[in-house]
Amino acid sequence: MVKIEAIVRKEKFDDVYRVLESSGIGGMTVTEARGFGHHRNGLQEKVKIEIYADEFQVDRIVEAIRETAKTETTGDGKIAVLNLDNLYRIRTGEEGAAAI
Residue 43 reports pLDDT greater than 90: yes
Query: How many Å apart are CA 35 and CA 88, to the nearest integer?
Result: 30
Residue 40 reports pLDDT greater than 90: no
Average pLDDT along the chain = 95
Task: State the CATH number of the domain containing residue 25.
Answer: 3.30.70.120
* CB atoms near residue 21 (< 10 Å): 11
What's the structural domain count of the chain? 1
Chain-centroid distance of CA 67 in Å reads 13
Residue 39 reports pLDDT greater than 90: no
pTM of this structure: 0.93
Query: How many Å apart are CA 5 and CA 82, to the nearest integer?
Result: 8
10-28 per-position pLDDT tens digit: 999 999 999 999 998 989 9
What is the arithmetic mean of pLDDT over 55-70? 97
Q: Which domain holds residue 7?
A: 2-99
85-95 per-position pLDDT tens digit: 999 999 999 99
User: In sequence order, what DSSP letters do the residues of 39-91 get, joined into one string?
Assistant: T----EEEEEEEEEE-GGGHHHHHHHHHHHH--SSTT-EEEEEEE-S--B-TT
What local confidence, expressed as pLDDT, does residue 41 receive? Answer: 83
What local confidence, expressed as pLDDT, does residue 26 receive? Answer: 87
